[in-house]
Amino acid sequence: METPDHVLIVDDDRQILGLLRQYLEEGGFRVSTAGNATQMRAALANGPVDLIVLDLMLPGEDGLSLCRDLRARGETPIPILMLTARSEEADRILGLEMGADDYLTKPFATRELLARIRAVLRRTRMLPPNLRPAQPARELLFGDWRLDTTARHLVDGQGTLVPLTGAEYRLLLVLLERPQCVLHRDQLLNLTQGRDADAFDRSIDLLVSRLRRRLRDDSREPRYIKTVRAEGYVFCAEVHAAGHA
């Protein structure tokens, strides 16, 4: 008999915890619940969890802080689906940049939550092991550049900060974590955009072009991002890790 996926729900609303627990258990999941950071860590210490449903607004340590802490672990990251209020767009974006795999705004339909949980688990398992997200080091060094993964800053050889958009940062991080590995466009979309990825979307080409300009990389003779015809892109420079995020 197949073991059911284990979902941990972290929310300080007991009524929501009860309703979601019942609904997800009826959907075939094993469910644990936690009302705050301390209870969440205790639940994680009790055994493996396949996915965390994490509320952004929690008493004490909030969801953003917990998401950052979870991604700071050296082990294989646990997929995170973040729950947010409609008015918290900036925090939603920040949550995705800190490593959340998806988000759902309150109020939401339980059917949609179930569908999103299944989609995140399916998406994570579809990626081959060498392409699954890994916890980055505190700094990634390549060529004349340094990427600070804690502050999400790109710094050139003269110590000048080069601003990156959220999408540019996510793409650069994905490439730096997988040097010398050819990544197809659909893989890059999956890794950088999650649920919004469209396998036929050519926006990844525009994003690569923007990132090349940030890195002052010549597409005709690239030092960093090389186009592999009919396949995708490869980060061709050596990458060195320093510290732990």
CATH number assigned to the domain with residue range 139-242, chosen from the 4 options 3.40.50.720, 1.20.1250.20, 1.10.10.10, 2.40.10.120: 1.10.10.10
pLDDT of residue 195: 45
Domain with CATH 3.40.50.2300 in the chain: 6-126
CA dihedral 64, 65, 71, 72 (to 10 degrees): 160
For residue 210, give the nearest of 197, 237, 192, 195 by alpha carbon. 192
Q: Nearest 5°: phi and psi at 162?
A: -110, 115
Examine the pLDDT at 73 and tell me if it is beyond 80.
no
> In the 8-state DSSP scheme, what is residue 216?
T
Least confident interval from 34-38, 57-61, 74-78, 108-112: 74-78
Least confident interval from 52-56, 73-77, 123-127, 204-208: 73-77
**What's the pLDDT tens digit per position in 82-100?**
888 755 566 666 666 667 7
CA 139, CA 146: separation in Å to the nearest integer? 7
**What's the pLDDT tens digit per position in 142-181?**
999 999 887 788 999 999 999 888 778 888 988 998 888 8
- Indicate the fold that domain 6-126 takes in CATH: Rossmann fold (3.40.50)
CA 88, CA 105: separation in Å to the nearest integer? 9
In the chain, what's the furthest Cα-to-Cα distance?
Answer: 59
pTM here is 0.57
| CA-angle at 68, arms to 127 and 209, nearest 5° | 55
Query: How would residue 106 be classed by pLDDT, with cut points 50, 70 and 90?
Result: confident
